[in-house]
Amino acid sequence: MAYEELSALLGGWEGFMIAAVRREPTSTTQPVPRVVIVLEPVPSRPKRCSRCDGEVVTVHEVTTRRVRDLPLMDAETWIEFPRARVECPRCGPTVEAVPWLDRYQRMTTRLAAAIARLAQVLPIKHVAQWFGVGWETVKQIDQRALEARLGPIDLRDVRLIAIDEFAIHRGHRYATVVVNPLTRKVLWVGRGRAREDLRPFFAQLGPEGCARLEAAVMDMSGAYADEVRAHCPHAAIVYDLFHVVAKYGREVIDRVRVDETNRVAGRAVGRERVRRAQRRIIKGARWLLLRNRDTVTRPADRIRLRDLLAANRALFTVYVLKDDLKQLWRFRYPGAARRFWAQWRRRALASRLAPLRAFVRRLTPYLEGIISHCRYPLHTSVLEGINNKIKVIKRMAYGFRDDAYFFLKIRAAFPGIP
């Protein structure tokens, strides 16, 4: 094979040509075969400055460098080449430009690019093993590639945001994520989940950005609403249906069910067998009561739910009120939503069920945020999906303690749907 053909096949190394090739056999310390390609400079080609790319003539000294390149067939591949220290008339003493050499790592740019590509889909540990490089090297390459691709955070067009928290380490380290609820683009990620942890986001958004923000959707339990109000007093806080209904399930349905189970068990009248059967029905019905009515499809389950509600007045009441509460998110006119709420509230209070009355009291301060849904029909369900994917990223990045890198990975995973 002619040299040119071979060189074209290998992709070549600009400014250099192959002087020699050797293949080192495997040994106990070198389980993978190794190929060393020795390069020499193309004689006619002038050297260039690595800083300004201008031509340089004066060479101070030449040292031999060894860097990794992509593997050739089954072999780990190393490039050996002379690197000149030069005197640039504009920049002073420096090294010659080698266009195919990665700037920070002891490898070629194409190997670094391959590592960055693989790191998008595989855990760092696996990429490091595959290429036979260090864990830290892969992480740095991936981080650099992500920074170059994503660029600085751009909040110029942000008018709507969804805010949520997620766990970094199970139970004790948290982070806050801000997402565009329409495009699912992750706008910002910061450490912590307290009110002040959201402050850097608004600092980055700036006064004009704060003035532009129209609405923020979030979960009722978080501390974020006050911080949004402090920076964007005109912006609407929107509470999502999903969390309100989940709260209703936990605080009303679940408690009424427990109360009713105990009440039936403690009742002095009635035949023992009937009481026991009734108690069993209520006790085992948690999932049936908390599920969305539309998702109860098995005929046996539907019959069971019907019987359960028919037999127990309290459970029937809270169940019907749950279905009705959901209607609140269907309104598009705040006035109509407010009238509906007043009516729902009256019915809830009239029930005399303590958990239901307590729920009404606790929900009332959030009412404005629920009514805001009429104007900004936003949902935090987008965040549920993001939270699940964050868990996967966390697993893939197993072992790292670098928040900045982790947050870059999250931003990269949610570039947004244009």
Count, residues near Zn ion per rule CB under 5 A? 6
Chain residues 286-315 in contact with Zn ion, contact rule CB under 5 A: none
**C-alpha 66: how far from chain center:** 39
Distance in Å, CB of 98 to Zn ion, minimum: 14
Distance in Å, CB of 51 to Zn ion, minimum: 4
Alpha-carbon span 162 to 342, nearest angstrom: 28
Distance in Å, CB of 149 to Zn ion, minimum: 28
The yes or no reply on residue 90 touching Zn ion (CB under 5 A) is: yes
Residue of 35, 37, 86, 88 that binds Zn ion (CB under 5 A): 88
**Residue 90 or 362 having the CB closest to Zn ion:** 90
Orientation of helix 354-363 relative to helix 313-327, angle to 10°: 20
Closest CA to 188 of 411, 370, 416: 411
**Residue 49 or 186 having the CB closest to Zn ion:** 49
Alpha-carbon span 350 to 360, nearest angstrom: 11
Binding region for Zn ion (CB under 5 A) out of 86-94, 149-157, 254-262, 364-372: 86-94
**Residue 88 or 217 having the CB closest to Zn ion:** 88
Binding region for Zn ion (CB under 5 A) out of 80-88, 111-119, 123-131, 311-319: 80-88
Chain residues 41-70 in contact with Zn ion, contact rule CB under 5 A: 49, 51-52
**Residue 91 or 290 having the CB closest to Zn ion:** 91
**Residue 96 or 102 having the CB closest to Zn ion:** 96
Distance in Å, CB of 40 to Zn ion, minimum: 23
> What is the DSSP track for 9-44?
HH---TTEEEEEEEEEPP-SS--S-EEEEEEEE-TT
Binding region for Zn ion (CB under 5 A) out of 21-29, 30-38, 57-65, 81-89: 81-89
How many C-beta neighbours within 10 Å does residue 397 have? 19
x-marked contacts with Zn ion along 335-354 as a string, rule CB under 5 A: --------------------
**Residue 52 or 194 having the CB closest to Zn ion:** 52
The yes or no reply on residue 218 touching Zn ion (CB under 5 A) is: no
Which 3 state secondary structure label does DSSP give 205?
A: helix
Are 172 and 119 in contact by the 8 Å Cβ rule? The answer is no
Distance in Å, CB of 56 to Zn ion, minimum: 7
Alpha-carbon span 363 to 350, nearest angstrom: 16
HEC profile for 122-190? Answer: CCHHHHHHHHCCCHHHHHHHHHHHHHHHHCCCCCCCCCEEEEEEEEEECCCEEEEEEECCCCCCEEEEE
Binding region for Zn ion (CB under 5 A) out of 84-92, 156-164, 394-402, 410-418: 84-92
Closest CA to 237 of 225, 255, 222, 253: 225
The yes or no reply on residue 91 touching Zn ion (CB under 5 A) is: yes
**Residue 87 or 324 having the CB closest to Zn ion:** 87
Q: Which residues contact residue 133 at a Cβ distance below 8 angstroms, ignoring those fewer than 6 apart?
A: 68, 107, 115
Are 331 and 340 in contact by the 8 Å Cβ rule? The answer is yes
The yes or no reply on residue 84 touching Zn ion (CB under 5 A) is: no
Binding region for Zn ion (CB under 5 A) out of 19-27, 90-98, 116-124, 135-143: 90-98
Q: Which residues contact residue 209 at a Cβ distance below 8 angstroms, ignoring those fewer than 6 apart?
A: 155, 156, 158
**Residue 95 or 235 having the CB closest to Zn ion:** 95
CA atoms within 13 A on the CB side of 329: 16
**Residue 47 or 279 having the CB closest to Zn ion:** 47
Chain residues 135-194 in contact with Zn ion, contact rule CB under 5 A: none
Binding region for Zn ion (CB under 5 A) out of 82-90, 109-117, 188-196, 203-211: 82-90
> What is the DSSP track for 209-261?
HHHH--EEEE-TTSSHHHHHHHH-TTSEEEE-HHHHHHHHIIIIIHHHHHHHH
Residues binding Zn ion (CB under 5 A): 49, 51-52, 88, 90-91
